[in-house]
């Protein structure tokens, strides 16, 4: 299911619906684009870009360009002047465009139909509400504290097991390597 259209959002919420960007007449079916758009709906812009970057579909490349264009429109618009870190994907949808109809020759003089579908991809970004920003900040601080506590646990574990000393002793130093090379060459030459 697609997200709310711009005119539907205006009727429902009665507020400004954000900044949009669209790519028209994209040569892929709308159903293929909708699979990718469902991944980024209601996600902040940074996370959406990461998702699209590592999504292995052709539609992800096109949607990522449209998302970047929507963010640029929001940041550089004289009326809005949003901060790029405070944006999220409010709505995204793919509508069907015109279908290019082609024919393929088949057996006994018949023809097979080929439908080359197109779609119009639209991404709407808007500024996050205060609640959404608080949730995002709480998640990022929780990730940072979890990382620091894990780092502390790993360091404590290494100290208990003597892992740091063992790791240091296994790495050959430059002086010991040079001394071993000197000894080996002196033994070979008989000195």
**CATH number of the domain bearing residue 30:** 3.90.470.10
pLDDT recorded at residue 50:
96
Residue 61 has pLDDT above 70, yes or no: yes
109 and 146 share one domain: no
36 and 108 share one domain: yes
Residue 45 has pLDDT above 60, yes or no: yes
How long a stretch of residues is the chain?
A: 191
5-14, 16-25, 63-72, 76-85: which range is least confident on average? 5-14
Strand partners for 101: 115
The residue with greater pLDDT, 130 or 118, is: 118
116 and 159 share one domain: no
Q: What is the pLDDT of residues 136-148, one digit of tens each?
A: 888 877 777 776 7
24 and 94 share one domain: yes
The encoded tokens of residue 173 equal 């130093």
The SS3 call for residue 147 is: helix
Listed ranges 15-19, 39-43, 158-162; the one with the highest mean pLDDT: 39-43
| Cβ 59 vs Cβ 35: under 8 Å | yes
């Amino acid at each position: 299911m697609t997200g709310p259209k711009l005119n539907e959002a205006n009727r429902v919420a009665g507020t400004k619906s954000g900044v949009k960007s669209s790519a028209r007449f994209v040569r892929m079916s709308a159903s293929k684009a909708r699979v990718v758009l469902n991944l980024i709906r209601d996600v902040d812009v940074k996370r959406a870009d990461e998702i699209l970057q590592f999504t292995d579909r052709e539609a992800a490349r096109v949607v990522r360009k449209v998302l970047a264009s929507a963010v640029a429109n929001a940041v550089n618009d004289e009326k809005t002047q949003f901060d790029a870190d405070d944006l999220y994907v409010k709505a995204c949808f793919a509508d069907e465009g015109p279908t290019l109809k082609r024919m393929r020759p088949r057996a006994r003089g018949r023809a097979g139909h080929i439908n080359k579908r197109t779609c119009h991809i639209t991404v709407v970004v808007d500024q996050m509400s205060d609640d959404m920003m608080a949730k995002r900040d709480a998640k990022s601080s929780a990730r940072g504290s979890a990382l620091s506590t894990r780092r502390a646990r790993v360091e404590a574990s290494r100290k208990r097991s003597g892992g740091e000393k063992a790791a240091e002793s296994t790495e050959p130093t430059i002086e010991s390597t040079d001394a071993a090379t000197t000894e080996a060459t002196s033994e070979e030459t008989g000195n």
